[in-house]
């Protein structure tokens, strides 16, 4: 059976309570880990790259110190280390639960290997991720504090990392699991779900897509959609789905390729 490469992000809104600083949702994380394990049993042909947001961990500290805008003063650098520590703390929780579910994960921290250039991801080695996939492992990346050649430091979002990795790993699917059912054009009313967003139509509808209901230093839903549409424009036969991981079994169904309600991003 031919292998399929899939990128899956567990959104910060899904695995943490973004309204409460440094508050994880441990039961949800454990359930998601079990669903990923179940999907891997059904679809052993999937080469899976996992990512997760920093939610109320990294985003809270990053907003306090303005880390996304640059790191220059001694106080800024102290904040940089606190953002790193918060993101690392959440990553350990997530990877511990994934490992407990029997998933052979390996942590790949952007802070240790990525470099930004004026807020954009300029460098991050793909070889460790590719080697992990070739070995049958599941590499885990996440939103992290990263050094920046121009600004001193900044934040590399999971979407930035996914976009960078996609250039070499050529995923067939990218799944973004959050707390929302998809992308709404009337957020926060949440009555008008966009079933599909085409890259060529983005300029016409971008002003109708809001960011985030809570603290999100990387721009919330708007930035996620914009970043993934850039990947869609470059990719061949690439499907991106923004969906909710809240409903039990939803993530498992999406990962194995079953139909799940959400917003599809297409060329």
**Structural domains in the chain (count):** 1
Q: Which residues of the chain have pLDDT under 50?
A: 212, 214-216
Phi, psi of 84 (to 5 degrees): -55, -45
The kind and range of the H/E element at 257 are none
Phi, psi of 178 (to 5 degrees): -125, -160
Count each helix (H run) and each strand (E run) in the chain, helices first: 10, 14
Distance CA 7, CA 48 (A): 6
**Tokens for 252?**
């498992």
Helix H segments across 202-257?
A: 202-205, 220-234, 250-256
Kindly report the number of other CB atoms within 10 A of residue 201's CB atom: 13
The strand pairing partners of 106, in sequence order, are: 139
The strand pairing partners of 129, in sequence order, are: none
Extract the runs of DSSP E, i.e. beta strands, from 3-75: 4-10, 46-52
**68-114 pLDDT per residue, tens:** 999 999 999 999 999 999 999 999 999 999 999 999 999 999 999 99
Question: What pLDDT does 217 receive?
Answer: 54
Helix H segments across 101-135?
A: 110-113, 127-134
Residue 19: exposure state from Cβ atoms within 10 A (0-12, 13-18, ≥19): exposed
Question: What pLDDT does 11 receive?
Answer: 95
| CATH assignment at residue 163 | 3.40.1160.10
Give the SS3 label for residue 258: coil
Question: What pLDDT does 46 receive?
Answer: 98
Instruction: Provide the domain limits for residue 240.
Output: 4-266
């Amino acid at each position: 059976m031919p292998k399929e490469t899939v990128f899956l992000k567990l959104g910060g809104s899904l695995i943490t309570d973004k309204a409460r600083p440094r508050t994880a949702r441990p039961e949800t994380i454990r359930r998601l880990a079990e669903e990923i394990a179940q999907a891997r049993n059904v679809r052993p042909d999937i080469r899976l790259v996992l990512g997760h947001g920093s939610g109320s961990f990294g985003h809270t500290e990053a907003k306090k110190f303005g880390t996304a805008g640059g790191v220059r003063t001694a106080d800024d650098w102290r904040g940089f280390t606190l953002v790193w520590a918060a993101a690392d703390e959440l990553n350990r929780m997530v990877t511990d639960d994934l490992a407990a579910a029997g998933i052979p994960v390996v942590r790949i921290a952007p802070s240790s290997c990525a470099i930004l250039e004026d807020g954009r991801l300029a460098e991050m080695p793909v070889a460790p991720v590719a080697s992990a996939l070739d070995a049958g492992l599941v590499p885990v990346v996440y939103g992290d504090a990263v050094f920046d050649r121009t600004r001193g430091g900044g934040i590399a979002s999971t979407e930035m990392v996914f976009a960078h990795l996609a250039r070499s790993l050529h995923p067939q699917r990218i799944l973004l699991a959050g707390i929302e059912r998809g992308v709404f054009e009337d957020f926060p009313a949440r009555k008008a779900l966009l079933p599909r967003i085409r890259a060529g139509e983005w300029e016409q509808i971008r002003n109708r897509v809001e960011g985030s209901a809570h603290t999100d230093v990387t721009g919330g839903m708007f930035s996620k959609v914009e970043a993934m549409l850039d990947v869609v424009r470059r990719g061949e036969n690439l499907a991106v789905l923004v969906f909710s991981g809240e409903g039990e079994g939803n993530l498992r169904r999406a990962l194995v390729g079953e139909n799940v309600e959400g917003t599809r991003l297409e060329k």
